[in-house]
Chains A and B, each alone.
Chain A
Amino acid sequence: MRDDRHDGTGWHADIDDLRAYARGELRAPRLWSVDTHLVTCATCRGTLAEVSDPPALDAGWERLDAELDAPRPGFVEGLLLRIGVADHTARLLLATPVLRASWLGAVLLVLAMTVASVYTSDSPVLFLALAPLLPLAGVALSYGPALDPTHELAIVAPLHGFRLLMTRTIAVLVASLGLNGLATLALPGYGLRALAWLVPALALTATGLALTARLGPVLAPALVSGGWVALLMVTEATTHGMLAAFTGPGQGVAAAVAVLAACVLHRMRDRFDASPVPSPFTHFARRSTS
């Protein structure tokens, strides 16, 4: 909004913007600015009345009423809107179940404890082993009926289930990888080696999602997590403490697994739209209804 009118009571909306607003022709984001400004500025509401014809004015008031009812964007949503994320996408992201303070707090606590263990044991292994599992857990919990109370409504909505899954996955990955990255900064003594969790994290998340298409949102991530822990234990036992996943070749294999799993996931995308993915747990849930 160009605040180029001033009458001693503060800055006001541009008169051309108000005329366009009255005609219903003002476009976002300027529309939102004028909407917000009109809520608090009686002078501009008066100006709007002068430049409007009655039917257009009624439509404007209706639009303003709707704006007053609309949920106020919080800090994160406001940030997303400012960097150009569409308002409907931002609201979908904000409804992601695991992007709550409780989940992010739990992740922070786990990371803090693991970083502390690195200092006491003088080895980054526990941190490197655990950090890739946190994004996987977050993504797994953001899909399916376990944590999403509106899962049933989301399944039957025309918005493609895979698109919703990817929207939430990206949101959870950004949050989880960001927290992991912060934890990595607390381990400056290990240099780039402390970042060796990143590629395995992407590989585990992509594999977990690809298997979810067949095994369901509970069994698939559980199997992937168990497989990861088993792999680390086996390689530690057979290579005398040298964890293969965090070596150069190990990182290469993890990258290949991530790409392969992403391709499989894309091929199976319609499975996230057709129905709840079967698993022993969803089977139980289905049995409990008439």
Chain B
Amino acid sequence: MTSAPTVSAAGLTLRYGRTAALDDVTLGLGEGVTGLLGPNGAGKTSLLRVLATAVPADRGAFTVLGHDPATAAGRREARRRLGYLPQNPGFHPEFTAFAFVDYVAILKELTDRGARHREVRRVLEAVDLTDVRGKRIKRLSGGMRQRVALAAALVGDPGVLLLDEPTVGLDPEQRMRFRELIADAGASRTVLLSTHQTEDVAMLCHRVIVMARGRVRFAGTPAELTAKAAGRVWIGTERDPGARAGWRTGLGTFRNVGDPPKGADLLEPTLEDGYLLVLDGEPAEVASV
């Protein structure tokens, strides 16, 4: 992505007691979908909460479409341009899907009743929930609730969308449907997608950031992350004790990832192989996103 970053962050640090949830995080995001990969406790949710202006960083600064949330006026302008889907989106369960999105639209300053209702219909249609708009949220499935939360995030057509593990708990069909929606959303805006699942990144993202222990360990394209494992994946008849990761495949052979022995039978790496190697003690490598 060669366009100017829509979100730029420098030196973001956030501590909870002695634990550094974010440790000097510097990054830039452009248009399209950027994947944010990392294990539990890596700092993904903390990063999204800081960028969403839900919690201030202890140190560092960032801008959203040129607006600095450190000032009251900048924060308000940034919030007008942000859509945020939290990890555990809360609902008023007695509200219908329409009423809930309508409520969020009011929080987003859409006070004109007619214009607000048109916007609510637009976003519910965008996530394919028009048919259940009158149903109470407590009667919707988990996948539908996630789509209601995504619709709420899309209200006001924000330029930056922050999605915190939106596909967790969804069955494969729902996950695929959600991926389509995220891809559509990323066609004309910046989307930062936090996820555990490397398939999400492989299928959706043009850029990927890997975090561990509050630090950015890798930033680049999915192809560059996959290339980190080039020549470092091999197949054998048993788990290689020198491998950093290894597992028995369905064919009875062992797929090993790490530093291969001489003469090893090398395999084409996947994005997950690259991710495993980046997490496993590789030196931090941060490229411009």
Complex Cα distance A193/B76, Å?
A: 47
In the docked arrangement, what's the CA distance between A91 and B98, Å?
13
From B49, B80, B113, B121, A88 is in contact (CB under 8 Å) with B113
A91-B102, A158-B79, A286-B55 given; A153·B121 CB < 8 A: no
Shortest C-beta distance, B214 to chain A (Å), equals 10
Query: Is the Cβ of B90 less than 8 Å from the Cβ of A152?
Result: yes
Any chain A CB within 8 A of the CB of B52?
yes
Within 8 A of A (CB), among B70-99: 72, 75-76, 79-80, 82, 84, 86-87, 89-93, 95-96, 98-99
Asked whether any CB of chain A lies closer than 8 Å to the CB of B43, the reply is yes
Residue pair B107, A69 in contact (C-beta under 8 Å): no
A131-154 with Cβ < 8 A to chain B: 148-154
Contacts of B40 in A (CB 8 A): 290
The answer to whether A153 and B76 touch across the interface, beta carbons within 8 angstroms, is no
Do the beta carbons of B99 and A63 come within 8 Å of each other?
no
B106 at the interface (CB under 8 A from A): yes
- Chain A residues contacting B111 (CB-CB under 8 Å) are 86, 88
Tell me the smallest distance from the CB of A245 to a CB of chain B, in Å: 37
Q: 5 nearest interchain CB pairs?
A: A149-B90, A157-B107, A66-B117, A71-B99, A158-B79
Please classify the interface of chain A as helix (H, G, I), strand (E, B), loop, or mixed, using the class held by over half of its residues: helix
Query: What residues on A are CB-neighbors of B98 within 8 Å?
Result: 69-71
A276 an interface residue at 8 Å Cβ cutoff? yes
Q: Count the A residues whose beta carbon is within 8 Å of the partner chain — how many?
A: 40
Specify which chain A residues have a CB less than 8 angstroms from the CB of B144 in the assembled complex.
none
B17 within 8 A of A: yes
B45:A156 contact, CB within 8 angstroms: no
Residues of chain A within 8 A (CB-CB) of B104 are 150, 153, 157
**CB-CB < 8 A to A290: which residues of B?**
21, 38, 40-46
Interface size on B, residues (CB 8 A): 55
Instruction: Choose the segment among A172-180, A211-219, A267-275 that binds chain B (4+ C-beta atoms closer than 8 Å).
Output: A267-275
Residues of chain B whose beta carbon lies under 8 Å from any beta carbon of chain A: 16-17, 19, 21, 38, 40-46, 49, 52-56, 72, 75-76, 79-80, 82, 84, 86-87, 89-93, 95-96, 98-99, 102-104, 106-111, 113-114, 116-118, 120-121, 133-134, 152
Given contacts A62-B118, A153-B89, A290-B44, contact A276 B75 (CB under 8 A): no
Q: Is A287 part of the binding interface, using a Cβ–Cβ cutoff of 8 Å?
A: yes
Question: Which residues of chain A are near B55, meaning CB under 8 Å?
Answer: 275-276, 286
Bound Cα distance A287, B111 (Å): 36
Chain B residue numbers with a CB within 8 Å of A276 are: 54-55
In contact, A283 and B118 (Cβ under 8 angstroms): no
CB A133 to nearest CB in B, in angstroms, measures: 26
> 30 A-B residue contacts at CB 8 Å?
A28-B113, A62-B118, A65-B121, A67-B117, A69-B98, A70-B117, A71-B99, A87-B113, A88-B111, A92-B107, A95-B92, A150-B103, A150-B104, A152-B89, A153-B90, A156-B52, A158-B79, A158-B109, A159-B106, A273-B75, A274-B56, A274-B75, A275-B56, A286-B16, A287-B19, A289-B45, A289-B49, A289-B87, A290-B44, A290-B45
Question: In the complex, are the beta carbons of B107 and A149 less than 8 A apart?
Answer: no
Candidate in A91, A157, A273, A290 with the most chain B CB atoms within 10 angstroms: A290
Q: Contact: A273 with B118, CB < 8 Å? A: no
Point out which of A62, A156, A274 has the most chain B C-beta atoms below 10 A from its C-beta: A156
A69 in contact with B87 (CB, 8 Å): no
